[in-house]
């Protein structure tokens, strides 16, 4: 199931960095791998999570994922898998991560997650963006740095996706004009805050249970942004439940009327899904635009 090029690379890496008698005993596919192939591998050196893809398909995807995971892990506020190695080969690229063995979920799982995310968002920067680009799902994500959130949000998040959708025939010229009207309304829409370290793709599929029964975050699209964009993403595709939002608010209160801003933030992931999966997401996008 694992290509021989990857198996040989793993053996070579472990022989040079860990132990000479490295051997893969078994492997089994893990769920959730819609972009990459994901496996649990049992080896003589331990159990690991292996993600791989064709090297030419998503250049630098695993390198930027590793950098994002390291940023989150170094904040020391929430459980993040440790990166073992990242390799780009002739045909394939892969990332090897520590395998998180889930324990029974703690009864206060969502409360703890809310408090931990609030602490993570307390890690601040001077500029919105990041010193390197990465990916949001299967699409490249520009993190060019900006002084203001509104310029970053419009230019590096929404407008790039609008142009992609328009070029693909997924948005009409009238739809594009609706976005232009929205941009003008946003000048006083977002409350001022310093940039926070955000996960960037915080839907419930990227939250797993750790060995302590608390949350562990995976598959980030990290940058420094307005922290409410992480909160907005948690409301898509099922939501996180009232205990999560209550505990977050207690730890790091958001500005008044934060709930009303969430659907605007979520235009970004909805546009990503429009560009990846088609017009099934167009209705949700137009519903938000009609309000502006």
Catalytic residues: 201
**Which residues on neighbouring strands pair with residue 146, listed in sequence order?**
128
Plot region of 35 (φ>0 → left; ψ -120 to 50 → alpha; else → beta): alpha
- For the chain, give the secondary structure using H, E and C: CCCHHHHHHHHHHHHHHCCCCCCEEEEEECCCCCCCEEEEEEECCEEEEEEEEECCCCCCHHHHHHHHHHHHHHHCCCECCCEEEEEECCCEEEEEEECCCCCCCCCCHHHHHHHHHHHHHCCECCCEECCCCEEECCEEECCCCECCHHHHHHHHHHHHHHHHHHHCCCCCHHHHHHHHHHHHHHHHCCCCCCCEEECCCCCHHHEEECCCCCEEECCCCCEEECCHHHHHHHCCCCCCCHHHHHHHHHHCCCCCCHHHHHHHHCHHHHHHHHHHHCHHHHHHHHHHHCCC
How far apart are alpha carbons 200 and 260 in whole angstroms?
19
């Amino acid at each position: 199931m694992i290509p021989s090029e990857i198996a040989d690379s793993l053996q070579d890496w472990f022989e040079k960095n860990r132990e000479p008698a490295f051997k893969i005993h078994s492997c089994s596919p893990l769920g959730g791998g819609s972009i990459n192939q994901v496996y649990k591998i049992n080896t003589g050196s331990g159990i690991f999570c292996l993600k791989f893809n064709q090297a030419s398909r998503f250049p630098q995807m695993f390198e930027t994922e590793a950098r994002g995971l390291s940023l989150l892990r170094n904040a020391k506020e929430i459980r993040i898998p440790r990166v073992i190695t990242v390799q780009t080969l002739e045909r394939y690229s892969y990332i090897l991560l520590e395998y998180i063995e889930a324990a029974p979920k703690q009864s206060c799982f969502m409360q703890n997650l809310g408090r931990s995310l609030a602490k993570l968002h307390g890690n601040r920067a001077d500029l919105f963006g990041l010193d390197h680009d990465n990916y949001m799902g299967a699409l490249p994500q520009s993190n060019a740095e900006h002084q203001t959130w509104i310029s970053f949000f419009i230019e590096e998040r929404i407008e790039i996706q609008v142009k992609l959708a328009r070029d693909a025939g997924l948005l009409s010229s009238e739809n594009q004009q609706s976005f232009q009207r929205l941009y003008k309304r946003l000048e006083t829409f977002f409350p001022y805050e310093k940039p926070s370290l955000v996960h960037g793709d915080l839907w419930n599929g990227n939250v797993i249970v750790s060995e302590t029964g608390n949350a562990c975050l995976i598959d980030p699209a990290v940058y420094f942004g307005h922290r409410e964009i992480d909160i907005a993403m948690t409301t898509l595709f099922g939501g996180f439940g009232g205990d999560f939002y209550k505990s977050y608010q207690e730890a790091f209160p958001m500005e008044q009327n934060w709930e009303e801003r969430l659907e605007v933030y979520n235009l970004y992931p909805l546009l990503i899904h429009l560009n990846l999966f088609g017009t099934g997401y167009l209705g949700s996008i137009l519903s938000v635009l009609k309000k502006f």
